[in-house]
């Protein structure tokens, strides 16, 4: 049971760091508004891929039990 807590904590840390990385990228890229459509497309792809990443992470954690 103790290792499950650490795995969920590590997964949460990874997802949180990825989110902060995305926000930092957006802040940096949106300073030049010429690239706004490209940035919005990239964010849409990343947000669209997030459920698949979370499902795969959940599948790995369940299979490890």
Q: What is the pLDDT of residue 23?
A: 74
Domains in the chain, number: 1
Q: What are phi and psi of 48, to 5 degrees?
A: -65, -30
* DSSP 8-state assignment for residue 64: T
Q: Give 2's pLDDT tier (boundaries 50, 70, 90).
A: low
Cα–Cα dist 2/33, whole Å: 47
- Mean pLDDT of the region 11-24: 79
Assigned token pair, 55: 């499902």
Q: Is the pLDDT of residue 21 over 80?
A: yes
Task: Give residue-wise pLDDT tens across range 32-65.
Answer: 667 777 777 777 887 788 888 777 777 777 776 6
From CA 41, how far away is CA 46, in angstroms rounded? 9
* Selected residue with higher pLDDT from 21 and 32: 21
Q: Which domain holds residue 42?
A: 2-63
């Amino acid at each position: 049971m103790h290792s499950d807590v650490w795995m969920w904590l590590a997964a949460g840390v990874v997802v949180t760091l990825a989110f902060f990385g995305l926000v930092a990228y957006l802040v940096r890229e949106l300073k030049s508004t010429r690239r706004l459509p490209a940035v919005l497309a990239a964010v849409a792809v990343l947000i669209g891929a997030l459920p698949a990443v979370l499902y795969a992470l959940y599948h790995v954690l369940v299979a490890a039990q």
